[in-house]
Amino acid sequence: MTLSIRALTIPFIFLFDCIFIVLCILAGGERYWDHISYEHSHLTWLSSLQLFFIGTTCLTIWIGKSNNRLDLKKLKQFWLWPFLGFSFIFLSLDEKFQIHERLREGVFKPNHIGTNLPGIGAGDFLHILFAVIGLALSYFIYKQIKKNKIALIYLILALIISLYTVISDAFSEIPNLNSSQTYIEIFRFHQFTEEILEILAQLFFFSTFYEYKRTYQKEKV
């Protein structure tokens, strides 16, 4: 019974996300983007919650491995899980409190830090930095989960979607007073789809670590 509930966890979260997004769209009416695209939207709450659960899942893997003497011998890879756990929890706090947006508007833009990079929005170089760190970490994640084919597929999907959203966010030009109405509508729809894709990427990251944790626990029994 417990195993069947665990197996249904990922489909249940996917269904919950779909229902939540549809309700947000319906609540917005003609302004379908209202509860999706803005920084303090309902989708931001969902995103922050999912990132937190991804982080705690990584930390539970770390705790499980720390109780296994065989895993303690592999100290070179042992750092990965606490680092991932606290990183995702930081991203959860960033999503909730807009830490990197505050840095961009309060520090980077006024001091002209990273504002002259070609094709990148003023102060948005942090997105590229996060992407580079994420790609570097993906190699170590792969080494840990490569025997679990399902988790590996989830990881690949998460990385593809995440890279697209990070790059498109960093290189997209925010409309100004001189922008045409057509461009504003295109940007609005682009931002709308980008936020939904971020939720999907988070679901795949959670699925990666949850699937790995589930099979890892089976192997220990």
Compute the average pLDDT of residues 29-43: 90
User: What's the DSSP call for residue 105?
Assistant: I
Pick the residue with more confidence: 112 or 184? 184
pLDDT of residue 40: 80
Question: Does pLDDT of 165 surpass 80?
Answer: yes
Q: What are the extents of the domains in the chain? A: 2-220
Q: What is the pLDDT of residues 71-95, one digit of tens each?
A: 555 555 678 999 999 999 999 999 9
Q: Which residues contact 142 (CB under 8 A, 6 or more apart)?
A: 152, 155
* The length of the chain, given as a count of residues: 221
CA-based R_g, the chain, Å: 19
Q: Which residues contact 73 (CB under 8 A, 6 or more apart)?
A: none
**Distance of alpha carbon 115 from alpha carbon 125, whole angstroms:** 8
Compute the average pLDDT of residues 9-33: 96
pLDDT of residue 221: 44
Residue 17 contacts residue 46 (beta carbons within 8 Å): yes
pLDDT of residue 52: 98
Question: Does pLDDT of 69 surpass 60?
Answer: no
